[in-house]
């Protein structure tokens, strides 16, 4: 064993942290590899150069460095990811979003404000990444309605979700990690709404900026790149047989549309030997009717999700002896994917009933999409396949993935998505509501509520084990683990106090309000260079030490870390939601700097005036 002076430990650790920051910020090194490398480096560093006190006791063991994997904050973050996936998977937010769609038809400008405010509020109570995924199509529709480019609305969407995350304890993983680092330093746990009021003030000013300023300073990227083709808007031809117990039996058309087939164009109905063409006045659907309709993948998915019994009529009776075979699983276990008919496919020139697709793959061809014009009165099963036709396929995920080895079709793996289990949406809403309510009221500790909620999502059927495990992002897991390890090392070596002493010596004579303001700005800058989670864990010990040195409540500096680390606006890698909107908004790196940089400055100014008054530092 080698005993090294504590100051040398601090300098070695600070150098190590500098290298870790470069690795985390580098686009050439995978985040998972950087995180594992940091953990391994810490273990090796403090094995060969152990940190010991005067009595020879080791102050930082391997168990201390690795303890972050079981930290309640990390477990809470991962559990809330599962709960959020349950909300997305069951479409529990679909109905409120549809009401917003109706609002946009009459007041589109007001709808933007309502949508962003809704995103902000929802993001205060669930992970904001799935929230942004859900709202991207709605913002695209609003942009079309207002004849604007999506580049003027997508960054505000991301920023609104980040702003909402800084208002409650579970609004962002950043907040939970700051609490973990603070508890590790001996401070009490934060309550659910402990920093909601100042966070709401910052969010209010940030939302005003996103609504008024950002659309004026971002370029109309559509005029630069040209019109973007929306592949999702292409329509598939679908044929559905009406089963005897189908909910569509007896349903009549209203103004030429069947209510259960909204946003879908019914081309004709085959009833025995007769073909019924639109408009379908005074016509009700009957058992054994063959309904041939055209719809986008989104509208078809929504129809199947709202009426799972429709799946019974998707198989062509000529293709299998049993029109509703037992291997057709419930809707929530089905996956939709797209596959292209290969140029040399044996399916070319043949109709679906001639290729026995279901018999060979255990999957069902739901629809066909063709670039060239198809005959309006053709049944889907009578269409002769051509090279380049896109097939919409329904089946178990494992069966869908096996199509990769089929030489006749080329599976578009990115298109494979499960049908939303909307029939279970009420269960997901109840579970989510109980998690938030129990954590907010203190009936249960937040980690207990989150773990119980994640378990309930699986037990209730809202998610299966595969879907729940897939919702856990290994990058978040490893990054938080590495950041907590660095935080433990900072605390044990006294590195946080050392940095605090150095900062105070540079700011000699400055009062607590000035030091708090500068500290907030430093954290806000680092969160855009590094990451919000790593920044939160690294700067919390420093902030606590600054508060103690200044003789003020260290929790004030903890709040500064929470708000500063959530200011991830100026770079696309600052936060996951920024990366999500980068494609739909056709953004460049400079767009985030142009829109997010002033927002960081704005929130810094607001915080600098608000915090001294609110926390009694004047």
Per-residue pLDDT reduced to its tens digit, 427-475? 988 998 898 888 888 888 888 988 999 999 999 988 888 888 888 878 7
Answer for the pair 325, 315: CB distance below 8 angstroms, yes or no.
Answer: yes
Around Cβ 198, how many Cβ atoms within 10 Å? Answer: 20
Biggest distance spanned by C-alpha atoms of the chain = 96
Rounded Cα–Cα distance for residues 530 and 526 (Å): 6
Contact partners, residue 228, CB within 8 Å, separation at least 6:
222, 586
By three-state DSSP, how is residue 195 classified?
coil
Work out the average pLDDT over 589-599: 89
In the structure, what pLDDT confidence band is assigned to residue 376 with cuts at 50, 70 and 90?
A: low
Contact partners, residue 493, CB within 8 Å, separation at least 6:
6, 9, 10, 13, 51, 60
Q: For every residue of 529-585, which 3-state class applies, written as one string? A: HCCHHHHHHHHHHHHHHHHHHHCCCHHHHHHHHHHHHCCCCCCHHHCHHHHHHHCCC
Work out the average pLDDT over 83-101: 74
Phi (first) and psi of residue 485, to 5 degrees:
-65, -45
Phi (first) and psi of residue 560, to 5 degrees:
-60, -40
* DSSP state for residue 389 in the 8-state scheme: P
- The better pLDDT of the pair 155, 292 is held by 155
Rounded Cα–Cα distance for residues 496 and 237 (Å): 64
Answer for the pair 132, 169: CB distance below 8 angstroms, yes or no.
Answer: no
Q: What is the pLDDT of residue 155?
A: 92
Answer for the pair 411, 339: CB distance below 8 angstroms, yes or no.
Answer: yes
Contact partners, residue 397, CB within 8 Å, separation at least 6:
335, 416, 418, 466
**pTM for the complete prediction?**
0.70
Q: What is the pLDDT of residue 68?
A: 79
- The better pLDDT of the pair 381, 214 is held by 214
Locate all alpha helices (DSSP H) within 90-153, ordered by sequence.
94-106, 108-123, 128-145
Phi (first) and psi of residue 307, to 5 degrees:
-130, 80
Answer for the pair 395, 363: CB distance below 8 angstroms, yes or no.
Answer: yes
For residue 328, pLDDT beyond 80: no
Angle, vertex CA 485, rays to CA 481 and CA 489, nearest 5: 170
Torsion of CA 294, 299, 303, 308, to 10 degrees: 100
Chain centroid, CA 171 distance in Å: 13
Closest to 491 measured CA to CA, from 554, 538, 429, 555: 538
Contact partners, residue 234, CB within 8 Å, separation at least 6:
296, 297, 369, 390
Q: What is the pLDDT of residue 196?
A: 94
For residue 8, pLDDT beyond 60: yes
Rounded Cα–Cα distance for residues 122 and 161 (Å): 8
By three-state DSSP, how is residue 340 classified?
strand
Work out the average pLDDT over 191-197: 92
| Domains with residue ranges and CATH for the chain | 75-225+423-470 (no CATH), 244-312 (3.30.70.1450), 335-418 (3.30.70.1450)
Rounded Cα–Cα distance for residues 21 and 26 (Å): 8
Q: Is the dihedral of CA 241, 247, 251, 256 positive or negative?
A: negative
Q: What pLDDT digit, counting tens, does each position of 388-402 carry?
A: 888 988 888 888 888
Share of the chain above pLDDT 70, in %: 86
Around Cβ 281, how many Cβ atoms within 10 Å? Answer: 10
Rounded Cα–Cα distance for residues 155 and 584 (Å): 10
- Residue 339: in which H helix or E strand, if any? strand 335-341
Q: Give me the sheet containing 265-271, strands edge to edge.
A: 274-276, 265-271, 290-296, 235-241, 364-369, 390-395, 335-341, 409-418
- The better pLDDT of the pair 81, 454 is held by 454
Q: How much is the mean pLDDT over the chain?
A: 81
Question: 142-151, 164-173, 451-460: which has the minimum mean pLDDT?
Answer: 142-151
Contact partners, residue 174, CB within 8 Å, separation at least 6:
165, 166, 532, 533, 536, 562, 565, 566
């Amino acid at each position: 064993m080698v005993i090294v002076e504590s100051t040398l430990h601090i300098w070695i650790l600070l150098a190590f942290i500098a290298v870790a920051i470069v690795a985390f910020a580098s686009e050439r090194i995978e985040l998972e590899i950087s995180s594992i490398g940091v953990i391994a480096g810490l273990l090796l560093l403090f094995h060969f150069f152990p940190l010991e006190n005067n009595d020879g006791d080791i102050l930082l063991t391997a168990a201390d460095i690795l303890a972050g994997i079981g930290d309640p904050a990390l477990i809470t973050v991962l559990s809330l990811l599962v709960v959020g996936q349950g909300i997305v998977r069951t479409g529990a937010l679909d109905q409120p979003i549809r009401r917003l769609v109706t609002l946009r038809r009459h007041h589109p400008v007001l709808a933007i404000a309502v949508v962003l405010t809704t995103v902000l509020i929802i993001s205060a109570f669930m992970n904001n990444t799935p929230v942004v995924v859900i709202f991207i199509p709605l913002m695209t529709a609003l942009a079309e309605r207002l004849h604007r480019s999506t580049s003027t609305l997508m960054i505000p969407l991301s920023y609104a979700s980040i702003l909402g995350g800084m208002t409650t304890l579970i609004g962002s993983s950043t907040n939970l990690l700051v609490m973990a680092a603070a508890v590790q330093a001996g401070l009490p746990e934060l309550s659910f709404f402990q920093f909601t009021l100042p966070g709401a003030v910052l969010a209010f000013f940030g939302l005003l900026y996103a609504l008024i300023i950002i659309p004026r300073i971002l370029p109309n990227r559509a005029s630069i790149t040209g019109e973007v083709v929306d592949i999702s808007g292409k329509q598939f031809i679908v044929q559905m047989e009406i089963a005897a117990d189908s909910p569509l039996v007896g349903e009549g058309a209203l103004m030429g549309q069947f209510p259960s087939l909204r946003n879908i164009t019914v081309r004709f109905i085959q009833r025995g030997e007769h073909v019924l063409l639109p408009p379908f006045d005074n016509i009700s659907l009957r058992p054994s009717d063959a309904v041939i309709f055209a719809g986008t993948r989104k509208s078809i998915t929504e129809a199947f999700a709202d009426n799972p019994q429709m799946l019974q009529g998707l198989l062509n009776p000529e293709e299998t002896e049993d029109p509703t075979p037992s291997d057709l699983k419930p809707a929530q276990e089905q996956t939709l994917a797209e596959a292209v008919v290969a140029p040399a496919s044996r399916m070319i020139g043949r109709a679906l009933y001639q290729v026995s697709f279901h018999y060979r793959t255990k999957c069902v061809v739901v629809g066909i999409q063709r670039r060239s014009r198809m005959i309006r009165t053709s049944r889907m099963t009578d269409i002769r396949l051509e090279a380049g036709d896109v097939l919409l396929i329904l089946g178990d995920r494992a069966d869908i993935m096996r199509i990769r080895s089929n030489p006749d079709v080329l599976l578009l793996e990115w298109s494979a998505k499960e049908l939303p289990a909307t029939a279970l949406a009420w269960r997901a809403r109840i579970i989510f509501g109980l998690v938030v309510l129990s954590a907010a009221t203190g009936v249960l500790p937040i980690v207990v509520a989150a773990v119980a909620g994640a378990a309930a999502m699986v037990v209730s059927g809202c998610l299966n084990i595969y879907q729940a495990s897939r919702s856990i992002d290994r990058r978040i897991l490893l990054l938080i683990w590495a950041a907590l390890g660095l935080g433990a090392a900072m605390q044990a070596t006294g590195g946080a106090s050392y940095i605090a002493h150095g900062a105070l010596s540079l700011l000699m004579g400055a009062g607590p309000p000035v030091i708090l303001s500068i500290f907030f700005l430093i954290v806000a800058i680092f969160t855009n260079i590094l990451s919000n989670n790593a920044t939160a864990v690294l700067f919390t010990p420093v902030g606590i030490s600054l508060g103690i040195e200044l003789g003020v409540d260290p929790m004030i500096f903890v709040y500064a870390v929470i708000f500063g680390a959530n200011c991830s606006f100026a770079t696309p890698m600052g936060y996951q939601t920024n990366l999500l909107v980068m494609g739909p908004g056709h953004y460049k790196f400079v767009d985030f700097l142009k829109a997010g940089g002033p927002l960081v400055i704005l929130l810094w100014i607001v915080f600098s005036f608000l915090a001294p008054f609110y926390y009694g530092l004047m």
